[in-house]
Structure 1
Amino acid sequence: MPQLSLHSPLGPITLSEEDGKIISLDWGWGRDQTETPLLCQAREWLDNWFDDPESAGSFPLPLDPYGTAYQKKIWAALQEIPVGETTTYGELAEKIGGSPQSVGQAVGRNPIPILIPCHRVVGASGLGGYSGDGGVDDKAWLLRLEGAKFPHHS
């Protein structure tokens, strides 16, 4: 499985590709480094996104996260949340079906964070969790980068 790592403001991250689609974004530097055309395009998009999320737009390359049908439904809905905006777990549950807890579990299992923008989902009275190495601090940083309004985080 081809992997390509890059330096980001949140530390090193690694993209993985399978069958011509991005299947994961992991925190840390990957062991294997393969510069496929898709991974190079994804790296370029991420570099541009970290510089200016608004002008980068939504991720234009094919994604194929491993997950259940319900998780994939949630992850597809995350991709519809515009840059700089947030929604709550409860609002997403109303839109998709299910409970805020089941939405939170699916969001927490997102294997392609940032590209599938799970950081844009917040709790009704707080940020909720985040899978990045820096946890909720990373989530708050990403939301600030996008200029989003979100619940207070110290």
Structure 2
Amino acid sequence: MQTTMFKGSTVNLEGDALNVGDKAPVVHAIGTDLNNIEIGGAKDRIQLLITVPSLDTDTCAAETRRFNEDVNNLDICETTVVSMDLPFASERFCTTSGIENLSVASDYIDKEVSKAYGVLMSDNKLKGLSARAVFVIDRSGVIVYKEIVGEVTAEPNYEAALEAIKQAR
């Protein structure tokens, strides 16, 4: 079991603790159109998987907007932001925020993504939400970068994630 922090309090994470070098499990989340989005495994593009607690928070919204801009010119990358928000709320967020360069998905039904990637917060006031994390998965389906943000209210290391994508080419 891994941990993260929420405003200085320890939060335990539930699920499989994946690391760089591990195969990225194939899982599904629900897209804004209510269709399944497949995440993980081998694909013809590098995958950037971002998990956040809720798009309805300032930090999650800022992170999603930033990655939307950063991946705009990266046609080698398939980017998915996964939260526990309902698909309808995620779609509204994308529409009002101009999110066009990445997909957002919901893990609210069975928390398959969060459990498989070891980012499901299992206690504290955020129990049942996804921790803030970033995974880069190369074309062969191997995790080449992982960051579980140490403080849930902080933003990830954007530059390191983008560099990992470039290195995975």
Q: TM-score normalised to the size of structure 2?
A: 0.28
Q: Which has the higher helix share?
A: 1
Higher strand share: 2
